[in-house]
Structure 1
C-alpha cells in the first residue's frame, strides 16, 4: 500500500495559501520559484511558513532561470497552434513533473486554490491529472476571490504580496506574457526597466506578446499608453494551477 502524501503547491498568491490553510491536512507545502517573481514573493513565502509552522519547500528549474531565457531558446512567447508557453511549461511544469517522478511511490493528493468562479478549471484539472487526487477547499466553501482575500486579512497579520498592493489581480511574474494591454501599461509605469526589456525581447525574437481584436500583432514599443484596462481584462493566475487545468 502506498504512503499517502497531501501537497499544497503554493504560488505565492493568496488563494493557493488560503486553500492549504483551510484544508488543514497538508503534509508538504511546495513553492516553485522563478527569477521574474517580485522579490517580495519570498518574503510572503517566509511569512506563510511562520504562520503555518511548517517549512515550504522551494524548487527551481535546473535548466532555466528566467522567462527571457525560455523565450530566447523557444524563439517566441507562445505556440499559436496549441497555446504552449515555454516559460510556464519549462520553469514550472517540468519542475513539478520531476518532483512527481521522485514521489511516484506515494498516493498523492493536491490542494488547489480555485475559487467559486473557477469550477470549470477545477474540473479540467481533475481530468488532465489522474496521477493524483484533488481537493478544492475554496470551491467547497463557495468562496469568491474577494472573500478569500478578506478572510486572509482577517486571519493573518502579515502583508499580502506587493503586486496586489500595486493593484495587480495576481502575483504573477513581473512582465507576465499573459497580461493584456492595460496590464502592460501598468508595467510600463511601475516597472519601466522590465517593460523596456520585454519590448527589446519582442523585437529580438520577432514576435509580439499582444494582439489586437483582429489578431494583428502589437509590439510593446508601439503600444498606446492609454490602451487597455487591467481591471476588466481576463488575467489568469500563472501559478502551477494555470497549466494543470490544461490538457497534459
Structure 2
C-alpha cells in the first residue's frame, strides 16, 4: 500500500506546529464548522503560506452547525461526549478515511509533552493507523508552540488573544461556568442563542444549570479544563461509543447465559 501522511488541523496552534515539525506531510486537512470564529479561516490560509501547500477544507454535508445537530438529536452534551463531535467531526473524518482505503495512513497529532497519556490512548484506540507525535518527540509544551509560531511570523487565531485557552467553536457546549460567563460578555448573541436552544430541547450545556439561570459571577476559566475540539473530543467520543458497545455486549452475553 502507498504510504500517506496526514496532519489534521484543528485551527489551533499545536496541530499546526506538529505538522510543521514533521515536514514531509502529504496532506493537511481542516474540518470547518460554521460556529468557528471567522478568524480561523484566516489562520488556515496563513498556514498555507507557511507550508507552501493548500489545506484541504472538509465540511459536513448533513449539518452546518452545532445547533443543527442538537436540534436533530434533542441533546447537547454529557460526560460521554457531545453529538456535535460525532456528526461535525467524526462522521466527516470517517468519510474521508473510507475514500482513502488504498493508502497506509500515518496521522500527525498535536499532543504536547504533557499529553503522553493521550498519545498512548490514540495508538490504542486507532491501531489501524500509524501515528506521529512531533511535539512529544521534541519535548514541546503548548507555550513552546505559541512561541514557535510567533517566531515563524504567523498570527495565532484571535480567540487566544481574547483570553480563551483554545480555538474551539464560539459557544463550545463543553465549556464550564467561567467559560460561558466570558462568552456572555464577548459574544452575547451566541450566549442568547445557546440559552434559547437549551430551553427549546430541554437540555443544558452545564450539568444542572441552564444558561439563562447562570449567575454572571460563577466560575473561573483558569480552574476549568476544556480540550481543543479536535482529536481529543473525537477520541473521547470514540471511547464512549466503545464502552457503550462493550457494556451492551456484556448485558447480551449475560442474558444469553441466563436463558440457557
- Range class of TM-score, shorter chain: over 0.9
Q: Which residue of the other structure, out of 172, 177, 191, is the alignment partner of 1:176?
A: 172
Corresponding position of 2:140: 143
SS in 1 for 2:3: strand
Contact kept in structure 1, 2:71 and 2:201, CA below 8 Å: yes
The CA distance in 2 between the partners of 1:96 and 1:240, in whole Å, is 10
SS in 1 for 2:111: coil
The CA distance in 1 between the partners of 2:168 and 2:50, in whole Å, is 22
Corresponding position of 2:228: 237
SS in 2 for 1:195: helix
Corresponding position of 1:214: none
SS in 2 for 1:31: strand
Aligned length: 239
The CA distance in 2 between the partners of 1:12 and 1:141, in whole Å, is 21
The CA distance in 1 between the partners of 2:43 and 2:34, in whole Å, is 15
The CA distance in 1 between the partners of 2:211 and 2:21, in whole Å, is 40
SS in 1 for 2:221: coil
Corresponding position of 2:10: 11
Question: Is 1:65 equivalent to 2:64 in the alignment?
Answer: yes
Q: Which residue of the other structure, out of 128, 132, 135, is the alignment partner of 2:129?
A: 132
Corresponding position of 2:52: 53
The CA distance in 1 between the partners of 2:84 and 2:130, in whole Å, is 26
The CA distance in 2 between the partners of 1:134 and 1:232, in whole Å, is 31
What does the per-residue CA deviation read over 1:135-178, in whole Å, with 9 as the maximum and x for residues that have no partner? 00001111111111111112x22311010010000000000011
The CA distance in 1 between the partners of 2:210 and 2:19, in whole Å, is 39
Contact kept in structure 1, 2:63 and 2:88, CA below 8 Å: yes
Structure 1 unaligned runs (5+)?
A: 212-216
SS in 2 for 1:30: strand
What does the per-residue CA deviation read over 1:8-62, in whole Å, with 9 as the maximum and x for residues that have no partner? 0001000000000011110100000000000000000000001110010000001
What are the equivalent positions in structure 2 for 1:57-206 lying under 5 Å apart? 57-78=56-77, 83-154=80-151, 156-206=152-202
What does the per-residue CA deviation read over 1:107-157, in whole Å, with 9 as the maximum and x for residues that have no partner? 000000001121111111111111210000001111111111111112x22
What are the equivalent positions in structure 2 for 1:188-227 lying under 5 Å apart? 188-211=184-207, 217-227=208-218
The CA distance in 1 between the partners of 2:145 and 2:127, in whole Å, is 27
Contact kept in structure 1, 2:77 and 2:204, CA below 8 Å: no
- TM-score for both structures, normalised by structure 2: 0.89
Corresponding position of 2:37: 38
The CA distance in 2 between the partners of 1:15 and 1:111, in whole Å, is 11
The CA distance in 1 between the partners of 2:62 and 2:231, in whole Å, is 18
Deviating beyond 3 angstroms after TM superposition, the runs of 4 or more aligned structure 1 residues are none
Contact kept in structure 2, 1:32 and 1:59, CA below 8 Å: yes
Alignment RMSD: 1.1
Contact kept in structure 2, 1:129 and 1:244, CA below 8 Å: no
